[in-house]
Amino acid sequence: MERNETGNSKEMLNEALAAHYAAALKAKGEGRPVAWATSISPQELLEAFDIDVVYPENHAAAIGARKCAPQFIARAESKGYSKDNCSYSRVNFGYADIRESEAGNIPMPDLLFCCGNICHTVIKWYENLSKTLNVPLILFDMPFNHTYEAPAHSVAYMRAQIDDAIARLEAITSKKLDRDKLYEIMRISNETCEWWKKATDLAKRRPSPLNGFDMFNYMAVIVCMRGKPEGRAIFKKWHDELLEKAERGLGPWRDAEEKYRILWDGIACWPHLSFTYKTLKKYGVNLVTSTYPKSWNIRYECGDLDGMARAYSSNYANRNLDFGEDSLRALVDEFDLDGIVYHSNRSCKLMDFRQYEVQRRTEAATGVPSVIFDGDQTDPSAFSEGQYETRIQALCEVMERNARKV
């Protein structure tokens, strides 16, 4: 497909995503290998071997946003997967059985590529896929960082696994790694992350030119196109569009004023994206940031595999409670926040188990009010519109009272 680099960034995004899935389906049809990978894995290695990569988390989110998740969840649960399992995994297990979706199809994998730095649930998810689909699994076993920084032994462990993955990919593809090609992909990945950060950082302006729910949509690209020139081009274009808005003093909406600025902690409720967005907008609440911009800002020196190992060992989800607290406290100051909304996501046990303590510490340190609502990233049954709106109303009452004190 011919790339559109003259339209706006949303047009570029939609065309790039369509081309991404079409290329993977074409590769499968032509007998070339296709990999399924977790979202924050060293995809640079796969791309250096010309392996087309798709991301089940992205695909499950798209299925959820199109309100198609229940049939896949039901199929997975009918096969014995518990409702307590991550809904992304249940959607993916169901899709692996049904293999057809109104939200778009992905080819079945010839290889699985899993990194446990986002959660340890993905390890069992991909082990099950490997067994049921009878395809090889390359697993990066990343220990959780109980210390503030990733310790040297964990980084060395990750580096050894990168070396092992290269050797396994050479065996699978029957070709040697082209290190010049890998280093070029590493360079593009870093530049893409830089433009992602520059774009999302523009929400620090008041009013923010960014409606934060757009960030959730653009997140699909930072997951699947970090190492591709089209991903870099999309984020540069998006940055330039947001900068133009900011310099003209324009806020996130044409028909409403940004009254309050909040951080959203947790994954979006994809089946309820419209309701959660419209409810916030109704009360003049703009989502200006979350923990996600930092999570996908994966930076290292090009050609430095030790640096790559450290970057993939050190992402937000794989850091201890003190790091989580410090990260939120910094975002409160940097983005001039009035409040925080915590999505207690039934699927995301790693983050939810510590969410109440992070909330307590952050509010005590900053004085910024917050609320928690119950939901799920793709299972629509775990969300209540009434509860969500009531919590937002309560937050607005406190933010309004705080504003009157200033």
CATH code (residue 93): 3.40.50.11890
Question: Of the candidates 283, 255, 249, 265, which has an alpha carbon nearest to the alpha carbon of residue 212?
Answer: 265
Give the separation between CA 257 and CA 286, rounded to whole angstroms. Answer: 9
Q: What is the largest CA-CA distance in the chain?
A: 68
Between the alpha carbon of residue 66 and those of residues 14, 201, 223, 376, 381, the distances in Å are 15, 29, 19, 15, 15
**Any domain includes 379:** no
* pLDDT value of residue 277: 97
Give the separation between CA 246 and CA 318, rounded to whole angstroms. Answer: 34
Between the alpha carbon of residue 101 and those of residues 57, 94, 96, the distances in Å are 15, 10, 11
Terminal-residue alpha carbon distance, the chain: 54
Question: Of the candidates 172, 176, 177, which has an alpha carbon nearest to the alpha carbon of residue 111?
Answer: 172
**Any domain includes 326:** no
* pLDDT value of residue 1: 36
- Kind plus residue range of the DSSP H or E element containing 54: strand 52-54
pLDDT mean by block of 10 residues, the chain; 406 residues: 64 96 97 96 97 97 96 97 96 97 96 95 97 97 93 96 98 96 97 95 97 92 94 97 97 95 95 97 97 85 96 92 94 97 92 90 97 97 97 98 84
Query: Is residue 137 classed as helix, strand or coil in its secondary structure?
Result: strand
Handedness of CA 225, 231, 234, 235 (dihedral sign): positive
**Any domain includes 44:** yes
Domains contained in the chain, number: 1
Alpha-carbon dihedral angle through residues 159, 164, 167, 169, given to the nearest 10 degrees: -90
* pLDDT value of residue 293: 76
**Any domain includes 32:** yes
Alpha-carbon dihedral angle through residues 303, 24, 64, 290, given to the nearest 10 degrees: 20
**Any domain includes 68:** yes
**Any domain includes 63:** yes
* pLDDT value of residue 352: 83
Residue 262 forms beta bridges with which residues?
A: 287, 339
Domain span at residue 68 reads 9-178
**Any domain includes 115:** yes
**Any domain includes 104:** yes
Q: Going edge to edge, which strands form the sheet with 52-54? A: 52-54, 34-37, 111-115, 137-140
* pLDDT value of residue 2: 37
